[in-house]
């Protein structure tokens, strides 16, 4: 209970008390008042006020739906302190202030109407003014990531796909980047691009992270840097019936997808803990949320990543370290080719840039993220069925994607 309390405490610490009050107000509007107003209130007595004008009947219902929508946006905007909240939260509140000034004067009338109108209008105008002045608070926390975590980001698997997009996105946010993978020439070309485009410092470490000493070698290579973020992303899949798979390739997969994440986190974490700030991002997969025949070891490695990251999130979140497990669905990268599979509908693959955007959005807010609603639904609908049923369904899908020789 204490940990849950401290997690809520951290969430509320992100904004001043008056803004937390607005957040709670928005939550009540979203979950209590608006559902009742729109779904339960009889049409005959429904009223809605916009700019001091009282709407009735179906217009009032429509107004109620719009209010509901506005409060959903407000709740999300306050929770995430989104940049688009400025100036819209202030403009909307000013509109409400005007309505609350005019409405009692017009409909209550007399001295009482004026007193009510001026009091409510002035109080809300004050809130609108405070929201106007709060522009800096809505800074889209991701922009300030290097300030928040530390100057350097280590990105593994940066020569292609999701890792490459992580490196680009982090450099765009001002991180100096350590690019890690085996293909050194590619890494140097990407380093050139990042330096030229974003003016950040870049270091290249070409290493095989599946080799026994690979992760330690990388940790030694960055020991002189203030590493604020580790993106432990390098990984690969391997399609095929278990007994047909090459054991040395499976060993390599476990070493890269699991061991490297553990060793790198263990080696890079202590200085972060000393500074009480840092972030660890591990790329898992929606494949880690269920058994996947013909990708049995791969899905097991990704389950490992999910449980590792989520447990570390609990251990570390109140010590200044954010942990996030990224769980993409199918993404357009070199993954499929390396895994030796043939996807049935590659056109539907998500872009690596979109996975990275969802990850940076979720970092610091939650322990894991599934990018896109479609993947999220797919990953969560499974929970309602026995795992055996889910595995049987997955077997049919995966068999089609596995080359005949490996089935």
Ligand X SMILES: NC(=O)c1ccc[n+]([C@@H]2O[C@H](COP(=O)([O-])OP(=O)(O)OC[C@H]3O[C@@H](n4cnc5c(N)ncnc54)[C@H](OP(=O)(O)O)[C@@H]3O)[C@@H](O)[C@H]2O)c1
* Of the residues 36, 246, 334, 385, which one makes contact with ligand X according to CB under 6 A: 334
For 316-383, give the DSSP string: HGGGTEEEEEEE--SBSSSHHHHHT---S-GGGPBPHHHHHHHHHHHTTT-SEEE-SHHHHHHHHHGG
* Of the residues 26, 73, 74, 209, which one makes contact with ligand X according to CB under 6 A: 209
| Residue 328 lies near ligand X (rule: CB under 6 A) | yes
Nearer to ligand X, 226 or 349 (CB): 349
| Residue 330 lies near ligand X (rule: CB under 6 A) | yes
Residues near 240 by beta carbon (within 8 Å), at least 6 away in sequence = 294, 340, 402, 403, 406, 407
Q: Is 226 exposed, middle or buried (0-12, 13-18, 19+ CB in 10 A)?
A: middle
Active-site hit among 61, 238, 294, 302: 302
- The residue range among 101-109, 330-338, 367-375, 377-385 that interacts with ligand X, by the rule CB under 6 A, is 330-338
Q: Is 389 exposed, middle or buried (0-12, 13-18, 19+ CB in 10 A)?
A: exposed
Whether 238 is catalytic: no
| Residue 375 lies near ligand X (rule: CB under 6 A) | no
Whether 298 is catalytic: yes
| Residue 191 lies near ligand X (rule: CB under 6 A) | no
Provide, rounded to whole angstroms, the least separation between the CB of residue 68 and ligand X: 35
- The residue range among 41-49, 179-187, 268-276, 356-364 that interacts with ligand X, by the rule CB under 6 A, is 179-187
| Residue 309 lies near ligand X (rule: CB under 6 A) | no
Active-site hit among 71, 149, 294, 298: 298
- The footprint of ligand X on residues 151-170 (CB under 6 A) is 156-163
SS (H, E, C) 51-89: CCEEEEHHHHHHHHHHHHHHHHHHHHHHHHCCCCHHHHH
Strands 321-327, 368-370: pairing is parallel
Residues that bind ligand X (CB under 6 A): 156-163, 181-183, 208-210, 233-237, 256, 283, 285, 328, 330-331, 333-335, 338
Just list the catalytic residues. Answer: 298, 302
């Amino acid at each position: 209970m204490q940990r849950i309390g401290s997690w809520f405490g951290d969430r509320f610490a992100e904004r001043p008390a008056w803004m937390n009050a607005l957040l709670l107000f928005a939550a009540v509007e979203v979950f209590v008042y608006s559902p009742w107003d729109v779904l339960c209130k009889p049409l005959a007595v429904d009223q809605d006020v916009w700019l001091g004008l009282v709407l009735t009947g179906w217009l009032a219902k429509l107004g109620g739906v719009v209010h509901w929508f506005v409060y959903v946006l407000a709740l999300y905007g306050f929770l995430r302190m989104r940049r688009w909240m400025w100036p819209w939260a202030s403009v909307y509140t000013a509109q409400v202030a005007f309505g609350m000034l005019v409405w009692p004067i017009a409909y209550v009338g007399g001295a009482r109407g004026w007193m009510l109108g001026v009091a409510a209008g002035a109080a809300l105008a004050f809130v609108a003014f405070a929201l106007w002045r709060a522009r800096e608070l809505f800074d889209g926390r991701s922009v300030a990531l290097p300030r928040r975590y530390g100057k350097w980001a280590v990105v593994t698997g940066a020569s292609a796909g999701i890792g490459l997009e992580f490196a680009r996105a982090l450099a765009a946010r001002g991180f100096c980047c350590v690019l890690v993978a085996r293909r050194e020439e590619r890494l140097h070309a990407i380093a050139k691009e990042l330096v030229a485009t974003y003016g950040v410092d870049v270091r290249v470490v070409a290493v095989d992270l599946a080799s026994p000493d690979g992760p330690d070698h990388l940790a030694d290579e960055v020991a002189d840097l203030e590493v604020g973020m580790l993106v432990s992303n390098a990984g690969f899949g391997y399609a095929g019936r278990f007994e047909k798979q090459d054991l040395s390739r499976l060993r390599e997969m476990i070493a890269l997808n699991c061991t490297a994440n553990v060793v790198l986190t263990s080696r890079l974490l202590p200085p972060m803990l000393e500074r009480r700030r840092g972030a660890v991002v591990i790329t898992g997969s929606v494949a880690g949320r269920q058994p996947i025949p013909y990708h049995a070891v791969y899905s097991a490695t990704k389950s490992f990543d999910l449980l590792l990251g989520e447990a570390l999130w609990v251990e570390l979140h109140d010590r200044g370290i954010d942990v996030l497990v990224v769980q993409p669905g199918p993404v357009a990268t070199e993954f499929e080719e390396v895994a030796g599979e043939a996807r049935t509908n590659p056109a539907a693959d998500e872009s690596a840039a979109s996975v990275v955007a969802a990850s940076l959005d979720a970092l610091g807010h939650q322990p894991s993220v599934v990018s896109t609603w479609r993947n999220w639904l797919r990953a969560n609908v499974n929970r309602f069925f026995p795992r055996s049923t889910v595995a049987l369904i997955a077997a049919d899908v995966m068999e089609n994607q596995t080359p005949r020789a490996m089935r």
